[in-house]
Chains A and B, each alone.
Chain A
């Protein structure tokens, strides 16, 4: 009887693996987060905090409003730099590390599709980038708010001591400082940095699927990032500086193949106080989504038949 039942179970068809499972992507993503945390990647936040404290206490020769604006620009610029650099380095390390540790073989021997693995890795990196950006924003916000409060109280004190300013004039001066202080729009600047870092991570994951080492991936990714930033600038330059048809065509090809990272640098304008246009912001979110999907699919094209 027992032999019969065991025969039956052996003959039973294997349970069909669904084409795509979010649960499996989630599992890989959460293990990627753990992997990155174990790599002590969050230690860079300490360096960031030190930079921010340094900037905050730097004696800048300017008015309080101007000084706050400078602190904000440097803080958000550094945040943006750390975000994309972190996205490149952490993504570049992941697949080769999985190969070295032989974790990749274990994962791919299970009913996990390669696209799920790629998406899982990407989402894991994005979760860590997002957490880092939030942490960096909190550090910046504390610094900006403390400086803003300090400047406002000092200005009020100075104006009261002078006794020639009306309450409206004092309010206008305080408002001038507050405009450069901690404002809710700054969270959109953080989102802009996150969108840029997401596209960078997607491009890096694509490069890492055919790269021979992490170092190669990092170098090529940074190169692609720089070229992607110089798109409009270089095409303007070369189309006016040369008549060479080959150079002009080469610039056009580069423009088509390499992502336009300059477009994702809109956090700078927001930090400077530009109004946020929701429609344009949604367009950028959509574009980022497009980049993520297309680059993961292209990665899959390389990765799908790769023998390990």
Chain B
């Protein structure tokens, strides 16, 4: 051993040591890396497309192990783009943000919301652009929001917040009841999903042509779960469907029509002549 140490230059020995250690540790590190990425403790490297969009300082930060810091800074920058209604820049910035922190649900939700709701609303109001251009961009931004949500759902299949945000675009902006119902259906069984999603699925399915029977079966199933589900909108939708589907009277629900009830309440005088008040 001492002969080897005397004969072979130290630089060569050090290099051999580094290479040997590198070869030994590589499979071990690959295994640890898999475990870390699978558990979400380690963020996967950003995609090549995101790399192209990173500014020099952001790239240095990313390489320096400061991805969260860079992502947080970019979120604030995206907010600046939102304030300036610079939607293209906002989209580019969020593309980098989600590449840096793909497991952060809030980035996917925010990007979907900004593009699908805010950018489209801006296109509805922006008088500086010709009507045709506004309509075109309105659709473009709505679909960009949906595309973001789809990517987010692929990345975080357990998240219900992303499809809920996506459904809002279909519901409020594209007014596509069938697509809205489809998205709510996907979201309602996800872990932690709020109970109203099951009702919303039924409401929008009821307004999707050709799906009335399916919607009726779903909503009546909810109604039969108990009083906690007897919401005014649910009763109203069931009553509408009973009429549409011509459900026999014996099978119809006995609740009064909530619209008629509220109308009655609205028409009711608050006090009788002489200042006598009515019990509520």
Mark A residues whose CB is within 8 Å of B. Answer: 60-61, 66, 69-70, 73-74, 76-78, 80-81, 84, 196, 225-226, 229-230, 232-233, 236-237, 240, 255-257, 260-266, 268-272, 274-277, 279-280, 283-284, 287, 290-291, 294, 297-298, 301-302, 305
Contacts and interface: CB of A to CB of B under 8 A. Distances in A.
Contacts of A81: 64-66, 69
B41 A302 contact: no
A107 to B, nearest CB: 22
B215 interface: no
Given A66-B106, A237-B48, A257 B19 contact: yes
B68 A268 contact: yes
Contacts of A268: 42-43, 67-68
Given A196-B65, A298-B18, A269 B106 contact: no
| Chain B interface mostly | helix
Given A70-B75, A73-B72, A294-B17, A263 B42 contact: yes
Nearest to B37: A269
Contacts, number: 139
B171 interface: no
Given A255-B22, A256-B23, A277-B35, A73 B68 contact: yes
Interface in B7-44: 10, 13-15, 17-19, 21-23, 25-26, 28-29, 31-33, 35-36, 39-43
A257 B22 contact: yes
Contact of B66 (A77, A255, A257): A77
B251 interface: no
B36 A260 contact: no
Contacts of A264: 65
B76 interface: yes
A287 B64 CA distance: 20
Q: Is the interface of A mostly helix, strand, loop or mixed?
A: helix
B41 A283 contact: no
A228 B189 CA distance: 42
Given A76-B68, A280-B35, A274 B18 contact: no
B64 A302 contact: no
A277 B65 contact: no
Interface residues of B, number: 45
B48 to A, nearest CB: 6
Interface string B103-123: 110100000000000000000
A287 B28 CA distance: 8
Given A240-B48, A297-B17, A302 B29 contact: no
Contacts of A265: 42-43, 65, 67
A240 B48 CA distance: 10
Contacts of A237: 48, 51
Contacts of A269: 36, 39-43, 103
A301 B17 contact: yes
B48 A298 contact: no
B68 A257 contact: no
A260 B71 CA distance: 22
B51 to A, nearest CB: 7
A78 B72 CA distance: 12
B101 A272 contact: yes
A233 to B, nearest CB: 5
B68 A283 contact: no
A263 B27 CA distance: 13
Contacts of B125: none
A298 B32 contact: no
B66 A232 contact: no
A73 B97 CA distance: 14
Given A271-B68, A301-B17, 4 more contacts: A225-B64, A233-B46, A256-B22, A269-B103
Q: Ordered nearest first, which 9 A-B pairs have the shortest CB separation?
A: A256-B22, A274-B40, A77-B69, A269-B41, A280-B35, A73-B68, A266-B41, A265-B65, A277-B39
B65 A229 contact: yes
